[in-house]
Chains A and B, each alone.
Chain A
Amino acid sequence: MKFDNLDLYAALMHELKNNLGLLIMTLDTIPVQGHPDHDQPLDEARLLSQRSVERLQQALLIYKADSGELHPVVDAYAPVEMLRELRDTAQSLARDRLHVDTLVGDQVPTLWFFDRSLVEMALINAIHNSLAHSRSRLRIEADMVDGCLAYTVRDDSAGYPDHILAYGSGGSGHGSAGTGLGLRFARLIAEAHDNNGRHGELRLFNEEGAVFRFLLP
């Protein structure tokens, strides 16, 4: 549990993550000027450091999961509030490159129980993926699916490649070439959530583009 027991690599990753985090917050304080020469490199720098932090977070969490320490700390949260937060984050990352919209199902209850920080990390990764792959838009939804609260991120990209879909529909996944850390990590988080024996799920499929669906029991 304590710092000394964490292995050196994990400690190093923490330090890198925290430094990068500080860098991001510093970049966020630079105002946009409306000049592409200024704003575009700034946006790229922001996005790149965000993705690097995310990578480190994922690696650390996978490390924790491997050592049996991934315990979601569940509390009550308002699904709509989290949706709003995701939307605002996506909008700020997309600036005017993509159109972002949000929808909420009328069956979604006022409160649901989950580990907000873990779930948010998984969803932000999906949003980053859509920002990287989609052509013009991305949509985030909250709805009830099969008795679970489902967050869905969909875009108009070319869709997930086949090997990812195979993994997404319950294929072996592990070890299959090209399966990124991000999706594996999202699945770990979903499955770590458990309500009376019912576990969370990650469902990946293609419609208009890629569809990332994250189910919380």
Chain B
Amino acid sequence: MSLKAIKGDEHTINYGTLRALVVDDYPGMRSALKLTLSNFGISRIDLAGSAAEVIFKVGNNHYDLILCDFNLGEGRDGQQLLEELRHRGLIKLETVFVMVTAESVYEKVVATAELAPDDYMIKPFSAEVMRNRLETILMRKLAFAKVYQHFEAHELDLALLACDALIRDYPRYLVDALRFKGEVLNTMGRFDEAEALYRQVISLRAIPWARLGLAKALHHQKKDEEAEELLHDVMEKTPEMVSAYDLLAEVRLNQNDSAGAQEALLKGVSISAKTVRRQQKLGDIAHERGDLDIARNAYSAVLEKGQHSVFVSPADFGNLCRVQVDQGDVGAAMDTLKRNRSLLGSSPEGQLVSAVVQSLAHTKAGKPEEAKKALEEANRLRRGVQRIDERIMLDMAGAFMTHGQHAEADAIVSEVARNAHDSETLLAKARKLYEESGRGEAGNKVLSEATADVRKLNNDSVILAHKGDYKGASEKLLTACRVAPFNTRILMNTIWVLIKRLHSDGMDHELLDEAIRLLGEVEKQSPGHARLVDLKSKLRDVEHHFGIRRKAP
């Protein structure tokens, strides 16, 4: 054998220019970590003791490096914090995020998280290890600079090309670049290419994230049986990988197996209970199945774990109270409202939720007069709320039916239906309300009339677009947008057709502005929607095509 000394030992990073944030709930650890970093030459170091403090600091300063403990005491853990920071776009891809863990059994979650930190370090670690890790990550960030730049500017095709360049020329970054590229392909909806890529990685080695990525690509191509089989194997070999349970739930829902989906999510929360969105999903599925105890637990966990989380809104209080009322536990529902009175009182939406729940609770408790009063209050508050959670709307509709105010009920149901013309679950719920109040026939009429317009406009536009008549198609859809301003499916179809129209008929600034406005709406209504990244990228393309420069939307 021929052995040599290690090459390339010179330190190339200029630590003096970096700004760092150290996050730990324990002050002793914060100062120890700060001292370590300052020994490397980093002079600008801020400290934070909680997730809330991090969100505040990150909003006001730019950090090159965040060193964060996984365990932040009560509330969010480091992994949730990272997810929230990335989800809200509070930190860029260039920012180094390193998780510090004590590697107790359940913290292995970090090592297998779908949204991975740049690296994680196990306590205790020496300054030498930290320095080596930082060096490696910072070099990688340099190598990926182009990829990140394009990605942040929504130039996904260029980001893919930059990945290809790394894959071709830098063996050190081969696997990292493949991982990034696979994620981009999956977000762009290029699932067959993603599938091929993940198979290529797996032929090198069955890395857990590659198997998960493959399962996702398979699921979106409706190859759910294969996806399910793969996920079972992933769970057996990497039981800590919680996102596998989330994906399995999706796969099973797709096959109308809601019992199986619930089971998968229950396993997921048993590994990592703090993730709000997993608990929300579990609550929804369980409630729909009539598994009220499970739904109640899940919705309670949402409120408990999700304090100050962006993923929690007044609608979540509505969800818990609705289950409590359904269980006949009126006292518990009222108690939930009472304990959160100041929070709910602070927003029009919260006040509305509170009034609706009170109306339901009074009805259940056999106090029709008070129920009616609360309903009137809700109806008054309704005008002050821009966008109301659909389930709260249906609750109101149901309440109106109870009091025989059918015209009001029909108007609300029709609004819900227009804005969710393709949501089987919501339409089924509405149908059930009518059946319960003995107006099944009337209900079918309301629902079919409400959805007919939107559905027809959408279908017509598909046909026109297919013929290449993007002008006609976009006019149909713009009309649909006015009728159903909260129908994200319609809004996104409109953006897509507008982009097509600009490409084929030439630039029209009014239409471009309309597309940008609609994109903003979708972003507000369903932040982080899977199709957004791709639409943004397509919008970027059309702007580039006509030489328009604009700050990233």
By a beta-carbon cutoff of 8 Å, the part of chain A in contact with chain B is: 1-3, 6, 10, 14, 17-18, 20-22, 24-26, 28-29, 50, 53, 57, 64, 69, 71, 73-76, 78, 80-81, 83-85, 87-89, 91-92, 101-107, 110-111, 113, 117, 141, 143, 195
* Inter-subunit contact A73/B32 (CB<8 Å): no
* Inter-subunit contact B270/A17 (CB<8 Å): no
- Which B residues are CB-close (under 8 A) to A76? 174-176, 205, 207
Judged by a CB distance under 8 angstroms, whether B172 is at the interface is: yes
- Which A residues are CB-close (under 8 A) to B36? 25, 28-29
> A28-B36, A73-B112, A76-B175 are known contacts. Are A88 and B6 too (CB-CB below 8 A)?
no
* Inter-subunit contact B207/A103 (CB<8 Å): no
Judged by a CB distance under 8 angstroms, whether B237 is at the interface is: yes
* Inter-subunit contact B105/A78 (CB<8 Å): no
* Inter-subunit contact A195/B205 (CB<8 Å): yes
* Inter-subunit contact A103/B132 (CB<8 Å): no
- Which A residues are CB-close (under 8 A) to B12? none
Q: Can you name the residue of chain B whose Cβ is closest to the Cβ of A82?
A: B132
Q: Can you name the residue of chain A whose Cβ is closest to the Cβ of B176?
A: A76
* Inter-subunit contact B106/A2 (CB<8 Å): yes
Q: Can you name the residue of chain B whose Cβ is closest to the Cβ of A29?
A: B35
- Chain B 471-488 against A: per-residue CB contact (8 Å), 1 yes, 0 no? 000000000000000000
Number of residue pairs A-B, CB distance < 8 angstroms:
139
> A21-B123, A28-B127, A73-B112 are known contacts. Are A1 and B132 too (CB-CB below 8 A)?
no
> A3-B106, A85-B129 are known contacts. Are A110 and B171 too (CB-CB below 8 A)?
yes
Bound: A76/B208 CA distance, A:
11
- Chain B 487-531 against A: per-residue CB contact (8 Å), 1 yes, 0 no? 000000000000000000000000000000000000000000000
Most chain B CB inside 10 Å of its own CB: which residue of A29, A87, A195 = A29
Bound: A28/B36 CA distance, A:
9
- Which B residues are CB-close (under 8 A) to A53? 124
Q: How far is the CB of B294 from chain A (nearest CB, A)?
A: 17
Judged by a CB distance under 8 angstroms, whether B271 is at the interface is: yes
Judged by a CB distance under 8 angstroms, whether B103 is at the interface is: yes
* Inter-subunit contact A143/B1 (CB<8 Å): yes
* Inter-subunit contact A105/B3 (CB<8 Å): yes
> A1-B270, A22-B28, A29-B32 are known contacts. Are A143 and B3 too (CB-CB below 8 A)?
yes
A-B contact pairs, 26 of them (CB 8 A): A2-B271, A3-B104, A3-B106, A22-B28, A22-B29, A25-B33, A28-B126, A50-B124, A53-B124, A64-B105, A71-B240, A73-B208, A74-B206, A75-B209, A87-B6, A88-B128, A88-B132, A89-B128, A92-B128, A102-B5, A102-B6, A103-B4, A111-B171, A111-B175, A113-B207, A141-B3
Q: Can you name the residue of chain A whose Cβ is closest to the Cβ of B170?
A: A110
- Which B residues are CB-close (under 8 A) to A3? 104-106
* Inter-subunit contact A1/B106 (CB<8 Å): yes
Bound: A6/B270 CA distance, A:
13
Query: Which residues of B1-49 are within 8 A (CB) of A?
Result: 1-6, 9, 26, 28-29, 31-33, 35-36
Given contacts A1-B239, A29-B31, A81-B136, 14 further A-B contacts (CB under 8 A): A1-B271, A2-B273, A22-B26, A28-B32, A69-B105, A69-B239, A73-B111, A73-B238, A75-B175, A76-B175, A83-B6, A84-B132, A88-B131, A101-B5
- Which A residues are CB-close (under 8 A) to B205? 74, 76, 113, 195
> A2-B270, A73-B108 are known contacts. Are A111 and B129 too (CB-CB below 8 A)?
no
**Pick from B123, B125, B172: contact of A78, CB under 8 Å:** B172
- Which A residues are CB-close (under 8 A) to B407? none
Judged by a CB distance under 8 angstroms, whether B442 is at the interface is: no
Judged by a CB distance under 8 angstroms, whether B102 is at the interface is: yes
- Which B residues are CB-close (under 8 A) to A18? 102, 104, 123
- Which B residues are CB-close (under 8 A) to A1? 105-106, 239-240, 270-271
Most chain B CB inside 10 Å of its own CB: which residue of A83, A89, A101 = A89
Q: Can you name the residue of chain B whose Cβ is closest to the Cβ of A195?
A: B205
* Inter-subunit contact A25/B132 (CB<8 Å): no
Q: Can you name the residue of chain A whose Cβ is closest to the Cβ of B122?
A: A117
Q: Can you name the residue of chain B whose Cβ is closest to the Cβ of A18?
A: B102
> A74-B205, A111-B172, A143-B3 are known contacts. Are A24 and B128 too (CB-CB below 8 A)?
no
- Chain B 112-140 against A: per-residue CB contact (8 Å), 1 yes, 0 no? 10000000001111111101110010000
> A2-B106, A2-B271, A14-B102 are known contacts. Are A71 and B237 too (CB-CB below 8 A)?
yes
Judged by a CB distance under 8 angstroms, whether B552 is at the interface is: no
